[in-house]
Amino acid sequence: MTDLDFRQGDQPIPGPQTTNLADILERVLDKGIVIAGDIKIDLLDIELLTIRLRLFVASVDTAKKAGIDWWETDPALSSKASRNALEDENRELRERLRALEPSADAGREKESEQR
Amino acid sequence: MTQPSDAQVTSSSAEAAVTYVFAVCRSTRATSALDLTGVTGMPGGEAVRLLPSGLLTAVVQTVPAADFTDEVWQGRLADREEIERYARAHHAVVSAVATHGPVVPLPLATLYHDDDRARSRLAEEADRFHTALKRVAHHAEWGVKVYRPATPDPAAAFEEPAPETDGGRARGAGLAYLNRKRGAQALREKRREQALDVAESVDAELRGLAAASRRLRTHGAALSGDQRVHVLNATYLVANDRAHEVGLLVRALGERTGAQIELSGPWVPYSFVGEV
């Protein structure tokens, strides 16, 4: 299957099976209609996950320059760290990202509707 | 919840299982005829099934509660292979349902204590689901990424052979060096601007045939050694009867601009159901 996978018919069709993980993650994590669940799971946003998983690391160079190199020693990357450490880390990371990229939030979901 | 749930839960006890909701679609004949035997859903879960609730039908799965806690998921989110497994499993179910009609996907890991809870939440949000379903019906999402090809470092273009010297240091060598640096910087800047212009014009053209569009964050250079610079990551909601135009337009834009343009799709319109 290629990227250009045309199928006839009226129904939306699944994305190509070869779709890369980043493409899927940026859709299944941040998108979809959000209704409150009974069990709260903090999924991180795609950007944080990206850095943690080193998927398509947009901000690593920037972060490294700013001295954020926690992932080099992050226990969660090799073993399951304690819940508290992860929570702290997520919070800290969010703050740092915000400081590093003040325009990121404004630009990330720029949406234009037509018609 | 302290009260044990009845009927729906099979062998596992009520405390040990929760209801995972993948997506919501209309309660049509096509929906009820949906064959879900081919999808396995979340690892460790029971069979993926339909949960009708009036005019809407949820696609759900009973999953072990112990495996769907925040704590477990935090670990999962730190493990690339694990998150890939779960993300692809979620995507596979959503995609399978979409072959039978419009579907509104829910984000990964939307969970309820039991079927009744899921049903009642669905009922509360029925209007939003209907609006979203109406919006995405007969449409698909197409992802478009524009890359600026990797180019040699502009500094190289300004590397001139060292001027002949008579043993000593060349006169004006420092100045020449500065000029080279300045030239390389200007060229870099120019290329960047050109790439952004290309991104804008590609986006504008695609918006012309889309019902709606969204910009996503661009990706940095992949560790796979992808040195291309990602200048546009956008996604478009396109009517199915215009789907063939997307590929043609992307090809034409690629030829016209010289940029590398990647098209992915058709996707279930994940990016176009959230804001209703």
Q: Does A99 touch chain B (CB under 8 A)?
A: no
Tell me if A21 and B87 make a contact (CB, 8 A cut-off): yes
The sign of the CA dihedral B48, B72, A14, B274 is: positive
Q: Does A75 touch chain B (CB under 8 A)?
A: no
Of residues B77 and A86, the one with the higher pLDDT is B77
A16 preceded by a cis bond (ω within 30 of 0)? no
Within-domain flag for A14: no
Q: Which residues of A touch B128 (CB under 8 A)?
A: 33, 35
Per-residue pLDDT reduced to its tens digit, A65-87: 444 444 444 444 434 445 566 67
Q: Which of A55-59, A101-105, B75-79 has the highest mean pLDDT?
A: B75-79
Within-domain flag for A15: no
- The count of domains in chain A is 1
Within-domain flag for A3: no
Q: Does A100 touch chain B (CB under 8 A)?
A: no
Q: Does A46 touch chain B (CB under 8 A)?
A: yes
SS3 category, B263 = strand
Q: What average pLDDT does the structure give for chain B? A: 86
Per-residue pLDDT reduced to its tens digit, B132-180: 999 999 999 999 999 886 666 555 555 555 555 555 566 688 888 889 8
Per-residue pLDDT reduced to its tens digit, B179-236: 988 998 898 888 888 888 999 999 999 999 999 999 988 876 544 456 677 889 999 9
User: Which residues are CB-neighbours of B242 under 8 A, at least 6 positions away?
Assistant: B209
Within-domain flag for A83: yes
> CB B8: neighbour CB atoms within 10 A?
16
How close B203 comes to chain A (CA, Å)? 11
Of residues A54 and B269, the one with the higher pLDDT is B269
B273 closest CB neighbour out of A9, A32, A50: A32
Where are chain B's structural domains? Answer: 14-137, 140-153+192-272
Facing residues of B60 across strands?
Answer: B21, B49
Q: Does A106 touch chain B (CB under 8 A)?
A: no
Per-residue pLDDT reduced to its tens digit, A12-69: 444 444 577 888 888 998 777 778 888 888 887 777 777 677 654 444 444 444 444 4
Domain B140-153+192-272: state its class: alpha beta
Within-domain flag for A47: yes
Residue B114: band (very low, low, confident or very high) from pLDDT cuts 50, 70, 90: very high
User: Between β-strands B139-148 and B103-105, what pairing exists: parallel, antiparallel or unpaired?
Assistant: unpaired
Domain enclosing residue A26, as ranges:
21-103
Per-residue pLDDT reduced to its tens digit, B4-32: 444 444 444 545 899 999 999 999 888 88
pLDDT given at position B96: 93
SS3 category, A113 = strand
Q: Is the ipTM of this complex over 0.90?
A: no
The sign of the CA dihedral B221, B268, B46, A39 is: positive
